[in-house]
Homo-oligomer: A and B are copies of this chain.
Amino acid sequence: MFHAPPRVLLGPGPSDVPARVLLAMAQPTIGHLDPAFLQLMDGVRDKLRTVFATNNAMTFACSGTGSAGMEAMLANLIEPGDKILIGVNGVFGGRMVDCASRCGAVVEKIERPWGQVFTQEEIIEAVDRTRPALVALVNAETSTGAHQPFSKELGEAIHSRGALLLMDCVTSLGGAPVKVDEWGVDAAFSGTQKCLSCPPGLSPMTFGPRAMERLDARKTKVQSWYLDVAMLKSYWGQERVYHHTAPINMLYALDEALNIALEEGLEARFARHRAMHELLREGLSQLGIGYVSQEGFSLPMLNAISIPEGADDLAVRKRLLTEYSIEIGAGLGAFKGKAWRIGLMGNSATKRNVALVLAALGEILGR
């Protein structure tokens, strides 16, 4: 049997999974149409609605990782030739551009230097200029640590211009406010392995009434069979029409991860993430390490920081892993070799871990 080495997961995800979640997942597999399993799915759906702050009927866990959720969102809502405006200020906005163009969209981009966010004014200005059918923004840019604001006003402005608002909240869900209904978000996707501290393998998703109308009015079939929300709706809804075999044990795990999040309470959970972020920031500042994300817009759960002058990126991360069993993340794309990413997500966001990573970094950097 493979033996997983002990790790403290302080990278961009996965985060440390609580024993309760691992134990829930290790229960015997049952059938995907078993009455007990269907009841579990109903519970997962209800709890996901709470976490997404939405009443959307079509709220579910897509049977793939966060990237599958991205593709499900885009493939269902784009018809060939549709125009989509995508905010690109890091890897994950760029990924949506690639995916949307594979769905046949005409892609318009607004761009910002990596680490920065978009103002409401520039988003609305771009919508007025490009007249898209869809606007897609990343709430938590995992590659840069930047926290893109959403608001009721932004959602209303986009709707009043006839477009839908789509959101990537892979890294924020469960760790910072994600208010799907209040912000007027029409479709959103997330991942399980970030602030929900569940193993990777599912993508929590939600589609609002405007998005479902758009789906119903499609003239062409969704290009993906596996991710076709019209069919998934019949499985997750009361009809229970067989589509594919759900990843059963992964859903046991997600259910328990959601129980833990809701027992803590979302507001308390968000406050804990903010507090641990501030503690880390303070300690890093004493080590002379700053952030690459725009001031005032840092993600609490993902700290993208400058690699200090003279430090060897790979060697430091290797020592953290082998000497201290700590995983932190490398820089991605434009930040490769320039940034580290320290995640304090879900179960990993503790005083113990903040103290540990600061101590280890201090020792290795000799500061």
Q: Interface on A for B, CB 8 Å cutoff?
A: 1-7, 9, 11, 13-14, 16-17, 20, 22-32, 34-36, 40, 43, 63-68, 70-71, 95, 98-99, 101-103, 191, 193, 199-201, 221-226, 242-250, 252-253, 255-256, 259, 321, 327, 332
Contact = CB atoms under 8 A, between A and B. Distances in A.
Given A63-B65, A63-B68, A200-B247, A252 B30 contact: no
6 contacts: A2-B24, A14-B29, A22-B28, A65-B244, A98-B225, A223-B223
Contacts of A250: 199, 201, 247, 250
Contact of A66 (B6, B22, B29, B244): B244
A340 to B, nearest CB: 14
Number of copies: 2
Given A193-B29, A247-B250, A24 B1 contact: yes
B7 A191 contact: no
B26 A25 contact: yes
A43 B2 CA distance: 10
A225 B193 contact: no
Given A24-B1, A64-B64, A65-B244, A14 B36 contact: no
Contacts of A31: 7, 9, 11, 14, 327
A224 B102 CA distance: 7
A248 B26 contact: no
A205 to B, nearest CB: 14
Q: Enumerate the 10 nearest inter-chain pairs by beta-carbon distance, A residue then B residue, closest first.
A: A201-B247, A26-B26, A67-B244, A4-B27, A99-B225, A199-B249, A200-B245, A22-B26, A17-B29, A71-B226
Nearest to A36: B5
Given A98-B225, A102-B224, A14 B2 contact: no
A64 B223 contact: no
Given A71-B225, A71-B226, A99-B225, 11 more contacts: A1-B259, A2-B24, A2-B27, A2-B40, A3-B27, A14-B29, A29-B199, A34-B321, A35-B321, A102-B222, A201-B248
Contact of A25 (B25, B35, B223, B224): B25
A284 B210 CA distance: 53
A191 B226 CA distance: 14
Contact of A28 (B17, B40, B101): B17
B4 A252 contact: yes
Contacts of A199: 29, 247-250
A200 B242 CA distance: 15
Contacts of A201: 63, 201, 247-250
Given A31-B11, A34-B7, A63-B65, A2 B252 contact: yes
- Looking at A66, A103, A248, the one whose CB has the most chain B CB atoms below 10 A away is A248
A22 to B, nearest CB: 5
A246 to B, nearest CB: 7
A30 B2 contact: no
A102 B20 contact: no
A30 B9 contact: yes
Contacts of A101: 221
A64 to B, nearest CB: 5
A226 B64 contact: yes
Nearest to A43: B2
Contacts of A242: 332
A35 B325 CA distance: 12
